């Protein structure tokens, strides 16, 4: 059977991607991308890759982002031409700013059908502009070859290609625009196969050795990971770790860091800040990074160098020079931290009262126990319950909702793998990203649950991500929605003090009456509505077999 140039080129590209370490491909359906989709499906049947189907390109992009976030290697996302390609832009922007490797494979019309009013044809070359490490408008198969594109694209996404744009050694998205002519596909030969390889690694450069002298703190932002705690321990420096950093654990983690950064005797005496990840959650940390009297060393991560004060030094990596630790400086921070620990756990039952022969004492003890069981949930109790139920084999995804700021303020130290789309701190694609994280972390039978903690508007913004194909294995995932009926995060912003209440409600708070239970039923998710801490603890610690939505009603104030 005669094959088409489009099918041959797609098969060659997919095989090359597999050889370059790609293990996951997310596909949105479309005619112009059919050769890529069929080649990927063929390799999936052989077990060379995993294919995930999403009908919405925006959801597909963020699902790929989640897969790449968790796995650390690029995920390819395939779509057809026209507005479909534009749907990948939000995920591409987040991947750029977060330093997540992503391959955007957009099918396109051939050059003779561009700019002449052809159906589903737009200006796709360069459409992702500054948000990609490398972009290439491939030749039409038959006019030129796609050979070598897979390896080059993977290297650029991993920061291993010196010719790619933006920061060397930093991962990010890559765009391959792939035009084809009819026939758009044909049957693939039975012997078409791919040999799995490993993704390239980049030489990020020499490590910068930090001398011991200055009074130093380590500031861990989103995606900093365990490296921040390791640096803090090696230098005997206080660790200021945002809850989304994945670094809030260890001997030197600082509790109540916002208060201490405002304290002139602690925050005011800082001479040097070593930054890992992207800090975004507190104004106190932002103010610290803007100070021109502080030496700031920032380890490169996303598409932009962190430089809020105009004099920050960028580093590929950092280490600690030999020398004596400043124990007095560390001790001041640790004493302040110990006094700032917040304990949201319930008091232990009054065993003496419960077993007392005095009827009054026993009645009071029983009343106290009933009040504890019936205690309604607030934001602090909600984030505490989710944090306590999550362990190192689990994954926790925070949405960019009010709840993540509450969690940052009250939660203690614990070594938990945490994810959050804080590159741009938008609410886009939270559920889709978490689904990708769940799929990747549970691959090959690995244990654990992925929990997503978000507000109701972030949930509704990504409700299309609830749709999963019936022939794909359900991930173990709990989407926990703190539902206060609108965007209460605006109550704490400047607009709340200046806008008329009616305008604040309609334009910012955006109240709604959506029935989450009906949405869960429509999309095939298990659902629970929970109002007490005891019931939430039970739901979070019970075995999870598939997809669950847990709705927790919350007051506005």
pLDDT in tens, 310-356: 999 999 899 999 999 999 999 999 999 999 999 887 665 667 766 77
List the Cα angle 292/295/297 in 5-degree steps: 120
Kindly state the average pLDDT of the residues 6-35.
Answer: 97
Residue 7, pLDDT score: 96
How is domain 5-179 classified at the architecture level of CATH? 3-Layer(aba) Sandwich (3.40)
pLDDT above 80: residue 361? no
**CA nearest to 382, candidates 365, 364, 401:** 401
CATH 3.40.50.970 fits 376-553, yes or no: yes
Other CB atoms within 10 A of residue 135 CB: 23
* CB neighbour list of residue 379: distance below 8 Å, 6 or more residues apart: 402, 403, 406, 482, 554
For CATH 3.40.50.970, list the domain ranges present in the chain.
5-179, 376-553
- pLDDT tens, residue by residue, 110-151: 999 999 999 999 999 999 999 999 999 999 999 999 999 999
pLDDT at 208: 86
Summarised one tens digit per residue, pLDDT across range 263-316 is 999 999 999 999 999 999 999 999 999 999 999 999 988 988 899 999 999 998
Nearest to 200 by CA among 166, 152, 164, 163: 152
- In the chain, residues under CATH classification 3.40.50.1220 are 208-338
CA distance 397 to 90: 18
Q: Is the pTM of this model over 0.85?
A: yes
Q: Which residues, at least 6 apart from 74, have a Cβ–Cβ distance to it below 8 Å?
A: 21, 22, 68, 101, 102, 103, 153, 154, 157, 158, 174, 199
pLDDT at 162: 64
Q: Which two tokens stand for residue 266?
A: 């602690």
Q: Is the pLDDT of residue 499 over 90?
A: no
**What was the pLDDT predicted at 496?**
75
- The domain at 208-338 falls in which architecture? 3-Layer(aba) Sandwich (3.40)
Instruction: Give the C-alpha separation, 181 to 107, whole Å.
Output: 11
pLDDT of residue 61: 98
Amino acid 111: pLDDT: 94
Q: What is the pLDDT of residue 357?
A: 78
Percent of the residues in the chain that have a pLDDT greater than 90, as a whole number: 82
pLDDT digits (tens, 9 = 90+) for 192-249: 999 999 999 876 666 789 999 899 999 999 999 999 999 999 999 999 999 999 999 9
């Amino acid at each position: 059977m005669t094959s088409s140039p489009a099918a041959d080129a797609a098969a060659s590209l997919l095989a090359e991607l597999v050889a370059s370490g790609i293990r996951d491909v997310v596909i949105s359906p479309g005619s112009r991308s059919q050769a890529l989709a069929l080649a990927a499906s063929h390799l999936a049947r052989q077990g060379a890759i995993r294919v995930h189907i999403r009908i919405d390109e925006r959801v597909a992009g963020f699902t790929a982002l989640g897969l790449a976030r968790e796995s650390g290697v690029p995920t390819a996302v395939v779509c057809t031409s026209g507005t479909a390609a534009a749907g990948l832009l939000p995920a591409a922007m987040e991947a750029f700013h977060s330093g997540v490797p992503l391959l955007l494979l957009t099918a396109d019309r051939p050059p003779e059908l561009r700019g002449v009013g052809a159906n589903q044809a737009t200006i796709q070359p360069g459409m992702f502009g500054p948000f990609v490490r490398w972009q290439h408008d491939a030749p039409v198969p038959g006019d030129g070859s796609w050979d070598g594109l897979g390896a080059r694209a993977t290297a650029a996404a991993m920061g291993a290609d010196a010719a790619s744009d933006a920061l060397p050694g930093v991962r990010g998205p890559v765009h391959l625009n792939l035009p084809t002519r009819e026939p758009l596909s044909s049957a693939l030969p039975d012997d078409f196969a791919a040999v799995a390889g490993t993704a390239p690694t980049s030489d990020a450069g020499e490590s910068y050795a930090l001398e011991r002298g200055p009074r130093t703190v380590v500031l861990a932002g989103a995606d900093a990971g365990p490296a921040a705690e390791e640096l803090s321990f090696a230098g005997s420096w206080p660790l200021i770790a945002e809850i989304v950093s994945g670094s809030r654990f260890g001997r030197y983690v600082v509790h109540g860091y916002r208060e201490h950064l405002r304290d002139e005797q602690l925050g005011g005496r800082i001479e040097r800040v070593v930054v890992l990840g992207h800090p975004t959650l507190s104004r106190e940390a932002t103010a610290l990074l803007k100070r021109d009297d502080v030496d700031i060393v920032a380890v490169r991560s996303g598409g932009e160098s962190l430089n809020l004060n105009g004099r920050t030094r960028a580093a590929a990596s950092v280490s600690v020079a030999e020398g004596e630790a400043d124990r007095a400086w560390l001790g001041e921070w640790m004493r302040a931290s110990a006094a700032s620990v917040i304990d949201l756990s319930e008091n232990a039952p009054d065993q003496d009262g419960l077993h007392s022969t005095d009827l009054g004492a026993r009645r009071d003890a029983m009343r106290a126990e009933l009040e504890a069981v019936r205690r309604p949930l607030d934001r602090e109790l909600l984030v505490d319950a989710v944090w306590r139920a999550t362990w190192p084999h689990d994954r926790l995804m925070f949405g960019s909702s009010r709840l993540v700021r509450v969690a940052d303020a009250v939660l203690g130290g614990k070594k938990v793998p945490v994810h959050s789309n804080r590159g741009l701190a938008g609410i886009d694609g939270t559920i889709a990203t978490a689904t990708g994280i769940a799929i990747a972390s549970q691959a090959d039978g690995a244990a654990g649950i992925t929990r997503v903690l978000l507000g109701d508007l972030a949930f509704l913004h990504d409700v299309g991500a609830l749709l999963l194909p019936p022939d794909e294995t359900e991930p173990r995932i709990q989407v926990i929605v703190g539902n206060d009926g609108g965007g209460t995060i605006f109550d704490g912003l400047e607009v709340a003090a200046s806008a008329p209440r009616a305008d604040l409600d309609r334009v910012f708070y955006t109240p709604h009456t959506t029935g989450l239970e009906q949405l869960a039923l429509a999309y095939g998710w298990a659902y629970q509505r929970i109002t007490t801490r005891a019931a939430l603890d039970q739901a979070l610690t019970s075995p999870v077999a598939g997809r669950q939505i847990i709705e927790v009603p919350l007051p506005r104030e």
